[in-house]
Amino acid sequence: MEGSPRPPRTSTATNPRRRVAWAAVSTSLAELTTLRLGGPAGRTETASTNDELIELVGTADEAGEPVLLLGGGSNLVVGDDGWPGLVVRVATPRVTIEDDVVTAQAGVGWDTLVSRALAEGLAGLETMSGIPGLVGATPVQNVGAYGAEVADVLTGLTVYDRHRRIAEAWLPERCEFGFRTSAFKHTHRYVVLDVTLRLTRSPVSRPVRYLELARRLGIEPGETAPLEQARETVLALRRSKGMLLDPADHDTWSVGSFFVNPLLDAVPEAAAACPQWQADGKTKLSAAWLIEHAGFSRGYGLDRGRGTVSVSTKHTLALTNRGGASTAELLELAAEIRAGVEDRFGIRLGPEAHLRNCSL
């Protein structure tokens, strides 16, 4: 949900925008991200309706002001210099449920939506319990966990096109979903306003495909479990890996998985023992395994330098702020890990996190 293109100034919106004098507020982005890193914002605003969101973004675009859209800040790395323009906090709150169809605006907390769907007896989101962030970010990354992803249940969404200055409905086919990617991921042209999901009325989960989760549930892969049991088991798994936000636990001062599991046409011989799965016609490898077997174990970094950044003590995919860190220190650790994995296995890892006003 972040970024700032430079749309043509000759474009016009389909609806004339109200001209509003927005009160600017100076904010440190370290206060708004789960990493607790990032310098100051030029100014921040909050959008509580889709009209406000479109107006804030459109007005800034017309003025040539850089825009950073901020949801939960859970997959965002901002440079120590901060963001030089407008930061828009997305807080659009509406959820509607009609039979098995759920529509949620971008500012709804993802896990809040999961919990509400389960309370309504709707299956399909249970294995994605506990994922931080907001609904609007989920199509961008095609968010998923434990064998399920948003693309499995998404039937449509509303998108604001910053170049054409219009809001329009998209079908899933236009989103180009793949493993942790979509048509939105490498462009800042579009702002997701809401998503529509079709779920299943059922007291039990969808078939559990992920072996680790099936074992925890005491079932065979492909079997189902009661909805709440599935959710609580997923939450317990995420908690054990430091993937549930907890201000008191520095292992959760992270962006979750910093690197994405690589998708390869061919697996190098050096990585033949790495756990692997088929996805999108390619072979997906475990980035966590590659990192650990390249010599970066849990807690790596705690005894180095100032000890302010390290690999999580619970999960090798998470890079963490131990307190008092800088973005530069975190990215230095990330670069060291990426170089080490490439030297050992010939595989170059890419960041799953979104980097803004900084680079790896």
Model confidence pLDDT, tens digit, residues 166-213: 999 999 999 999 988 999 998 999 999 999 999 999 999 999 999 999
pTM: 0.86
Residues annotated as catalytic (active site), given as ranges: 180, 257, 352
Rounded distance between C-alpha atoms, residue 208 and residue 227, angstroms: 11
- The two three-digit tokens of residue 262, written as one number: 């690589």
Paired sense of beta strands 67-70 and 76-78, if any: unpaired
Which candidate, 233, 255, 247, places its Cα nearest to that of 315?
255
Question: What is 281-337 written as a DSSP string?
Answer: TEEEE-HHHHHHHTT--TTTTTTSTTS-EEE-SS-TT-EEE-SS--HHHHHHHHHHH
Model confidence pLDDT, tens digit, residues 44-100: 999 999 999 999 999 999 999 999 999 999 999 999 999 999 999 999 999 999 999
Q: Spell out the residues 6+ positions from residue 111 whose beta carbon is closer than 8 angstroms to its own.
A: 129, 130, 131, 132
Q: What is the rounded average pLDDT of the residues 269-289?
A: 94
Q: What are phi and psi of 215, to 5 degrees?
A: -65, -45
**pLDDT confidence of 26, banded at 50, 70, 90?**
low
The gap between the terminal CA atoms of the chain, to the nearest Å, is: 19
- The pLDDT value given to residue 280: 82
User: Which of 15-19, 187-191, 299-303 comes out lowest in average pLDDT?
Assistant: 15-19
**pLDDT confidence of 1, banded at 50, 70, 90?**
low
**pLDDT confidence of 13, banded at 50, 70, 90?**
very low
Which candidate, 133, 129, 122, 135, places its Cα nearest to that of 95?
135
Dihedral (Cα; 348, 351, 271, 339), 10-degree rounding: 50
- Bridge partner residues of 355 (DSSP): 77
Place of tokens 């109200």: 18
Task: Sort 348 into a burial class: Cβ within 10 Å, 0-12 / 13-18 / 19+.
Answer: exposed
- The pLDDT value given to residue 220: 97
What domains can be seen in the chain, in order of their start residue? Answer: 95-240 (3.30.465.10), 250-356 (3.90.78.10)
